Amino acid sequence: MFDKVIRNGKVFIAGEFVKTNVYIEKEVIAKITPEVLSAKESIDVNNALVIPALIDPHVHFHLDLGSIHSRDDFYSGTLQAVYGGITTVIDFLDPVDNPVDLEKAYYRRLDEAKTSVCDYSFHATIKNPNCDLEEFVIKMKSLGINSLKLFTTYSDSNRRTYDNQIIELLKLSSKYDFLLLAHIENDNLIDLNPNFKYNCLLKSRPTLAETKEALKLAAFTEINGGYLYMVHLSSGITLEKLKKDFPSLINKRFFIESCPQYFAFTNDFLEREDGYLYTLAPPLRTRRERTLLKENFNDVFSVGTDHCAFNKKDKDRKYLKDIPLGIGGIENSFDVLYEFFKEKAIDKMSKNIASLYPNLVGRGEIKEGNLANLFIYELYDNFISKHHGKTDCFLYDNFKRSGETVHTMNRGEFIIKNREFIKSVSKKV
Ligand SMILES: [Zn+2]
């Protein structure tokens, strides 16, 4: 007898929905079959979608920005995640420039993450490194971390990693088999004019800064080898140019992540009276760039949320320089992507991400032997109306969606059942 069965679902298997039953034994998917077999607990989902639990590879919970922390901590951040069908999140360690501080940053974050209600993992983050890079990488690997994020910008806060160091890190990424993540904007093309108001964000961080730097880093990757993952690609122009110049590199050794907000919003929102709420880096782009991004969705490898939530009063500042950049949205990331792209969104939020990380083996796909990580999405037209985070800033309020997450299961246990939070199922992976 099996422990549980999810019956009568349309189960997402190898790229399509199949009417079948999913039998679960302890943490694992034991059998997938339309046959009716006995199980201790049976959940009839009545034709709802059964989807692999999603993985969000890009979140910022309780991010330290000096004068302020992002408002969702690991508890409120992951609570929203599981209400949105996500059961694994990858957050970032604080940026450091040497191996000793890296170890401290790891244990600090490990302690903060204990309140998570789902599984979690970390990327290391490097800033203007001041050490032997190979020693840094060896320390990172010894902590069980397989991804390292750098910034090509933010020299103003001493976070920029310079070209010669990026090249060395790329070479190390193939030698030590880790993924190099990059926040890509050309530092010299960013204008931090202190008199800019929030509606000057596009002038401050133009598309050219993203496109030019992305092409440069793709060339570095092509020449030097290694694995690079571009976080939060914002503009369809950047994506088209990358495809044109590096067709054999894209999503093989140079992976492209985008975020729900670049599909949902445009820079028009910055002209609104509450436009300061829509400030993030890189910024929301023009309608044309968003259209291009949507048209090229097939070439987006993965979707991460870059969830970095603040309250309205945190962001209500006269000058751009005083506004903490970032928005929330983890709870509704699937709603948004499914609305635009239907099942094409699923692999980019699950399987593709798992394929990049050795510690995520057994996640991201519904198949026998994999972890029983899945969520049930009931289809009916409705509007997003609430979230379970800590902030009062909710940009997806009233956004149209085609369904809702009703159950979320992690490693064979329900975290969300019938739209209610049941219990935490959480570990560091
Ligand atoms: Zn980010």
Q: Is residue 428 in a domain?
A: no
Domain boundary among the residues 318, 344, 360 is at 360
- Ligand 1 center–CA 274 separation, angstroms: 22
Bridge partner residues of 10 (DSSP): 19, 49
10 and 64, same domain (yes or no): no
The helix-helix angle for 236-245 and 287-295 (nearest 10°) equals 50
- Ligand 1 center–CA 72 separation, angstroms: 14
Domain count along the chain? 2
Which residues constitute the domain of residue 67? 54-360
Q: Which pLDDT value is given to residue 149?
A: 98
407 and 269, same domain (yes or no): no
399 and 266, same domain (yes or no): no
Angle at 347 between CA 94 and CA 404, to 5 degrees: 90
36 and 76, same domain (yes or no): no
- Ligand 1 center–CA 127 separation, angstroms: 14
130 and 253, same domain (yes or no): yes
Q: Which residue from 84, 8, 92, 79 is spatially nearest to 43, judged by alpha carbons?
A: 8
- Ligand 1 center–CA 98 separation, angstroms: 21
| pTM to 2 decimal places | 0.98
Q: Which pLDDT value is given to residue 66?
A: 86
Query: What CATH code is carried by the domain that includes residue 8?
Result: 2.30.40.10
Q: Which pLDDT value is given to residue 187?
A: 97
Query: What CATH code is carried by the domain that includes residue 264?
Result: 3.20.20.140
- Ligand 1 center–CA 411 separation, angstroms: 27
Residue pLDDT tens, the chain, 429 long: 999 999 999 999 999 999 999 999 999 999 999 999 999 999 999 999 999 999 999 999 999 988 899 999 999 999 999 999 999 999 999 999 999 999 999 999 999 999 999 999 999 999 999 899 999 999 999 999 999 999 999 999 999 999 999 999 999 999 999 999 999 999 999 999 999 999 999 999 999 999 999 999 999 999 999 999 999 999 999 999 999 999 999 999 999 999 999 999 999 999 999 999 999 999 999 999 999 999 999 999 999 999 999 999 999 999 999 999 999 999 999 999 999 999 999 999 999 999 999 999 999 999 999 999 999 999 999 999 999 999 999 999 999 999 999 999 999 999 999 999 999 999 999
330 and 409, same domain (yes or no): no
267 and 284, same domain (yes or no): yes
- Ligand 1 center–CA 133 separation, angstroms: 23
Helix (H, G, I), strand (E, B), or coil: what is residue 46? coil
Q: Is residue 412 in a domain?
A: yes
- Ligand 1 center–CA 63 separation, angstroms: 10
- Ligand 1 center–CA 334 separation, angstroms: 18
Q: Is residue 399 in a domain?
A: yes
Q: Is residue 425 in a domain?
A: no
- Ligand 1 center–CA 60 separation, angstroms: 6
The CA distance from 181 to 192, in Å, is 24
Q: How far apart are the first and last CA of the chain?
A: 29
- Ligand 1 center–CA 275 separation, angstroms: 20
93 and 242, same domain (yes or no): yes
Q: Is residue 200 in a domain?
A: yes
Amino acid in the structure at residue 54 = L
Q: Which pLDDT value is given to residue 333?
A: 98
185 and 255, same domain (yes or no): yes
Q: Is the dihedral of CA 273, 279, 277, 315 positive or negative?
A: negative
- Ligand 1 center–CA 386 separation, angstroms: 23
311 token code pair: 């309250």
145 and 242, same domain (yes or no): yes
